[in-house]
Amino acid sequence: MTRTKSAGFALEKSLVDKKKRARKVLAGLHKLYPEADCALAHGDPLQLLIATILSAQSTDVTVNKITPVLFQRYPTARDLAQAPPAEVERIVHSSGFFRQKTKSIQGACRKIVEEFGGKVPDTLEQLVTLPGVARKTANVVLGTAFGKNEGIVVDTHVGRLATRLGLTWTSKDGKDAVKIERDLIGLFPQDEWTFLGHALIWHGRRVCFARKPNCPGCTLERHCPSAGLFNEAGDFRG
């Protein structure tokens, strides 16, 4: 994509224009990743909640090695709440920040037992009252475990792709999760929010890499104002 072609995206001034292109991006994602889903292995909402807490500053691969051991030893919220902290820390150690994560996991499980009858709550308002649970984690649990499209998960991949694809215009950069989510919510139908998050994450891991994205191999290239504007080292030339 040349700079002249990229400049054409600057004419996209109205929300209607942005939505038209967003629909094309969404159609492309559905074609590429029809089965896009959460990469964190889980069997129920509690397991997904704990896995998501563990995934902060870690990888899904690492978390997926930890959780089978953790849940075999402590299968319920009550079990985890009552577990010796040192033992939980030992199990989750490789995920990083293991002391804080143990504190969050056990605090969340205690509240689930004491206030929610041992079951993970299924509303955003209740989920964010749990220790270690902010909006992003709540969106993961609501969308994937409960099938509720209450918001869009904005992790590092989604933030990066939303910025490169021109799907956010109020955020200062790809880390401005609150504004990015708000912009995405304004562009995409609510029943697509969970899929969108998963699909953008998949695309970020497989094609639109943080360094040196594979623009020539990207089928979304025609809809992307950043395509072709990275040099051989992966630096943005726009």
Is 136 one of the annotated active-site residues of the chain? yes
User: CA torsion angle for 193, 223, 178, 155 (degrees, to 10)?
Assistant: 70
Residue 9 CA to residue 38 CA, distance in Å, equals 31
DSSP, residue by residue, 103-125: HHHHHHHHHHHHHSTTS---SHH
| Catalytic-role residue among 155, 172, 183, 212 | 155
Is 119 one of the annotated active-site residues of the chain? no
| Catalytic-role residue among 18, 101, 111, 136 | 136
Task: Return all residues near 101 (Cβ < 8 A) that are at least 6 apart.
Answer: 53, 54, 56, 92, 95, 132
DSSP structure class, residue 237: -
Task: Return all residues near 151 (Cβ < 8 A) that are at least 6 apart.
Answer: 124, 135, 138, 139, 142, 143, 181, 185, 193
Distances (CA, A) of 128 to 34, 57, 137, 187, 223: 30, 19, 8, 25, 35
Q: What are phi and psi of 154, to 5 degrees?
A: -115, 95
Residue 202, token pair as written in the block:
């998949």
Say whether 163 sits in a helix, a strand or coil: helix
**Residues marked as catalytic:** 136, 155
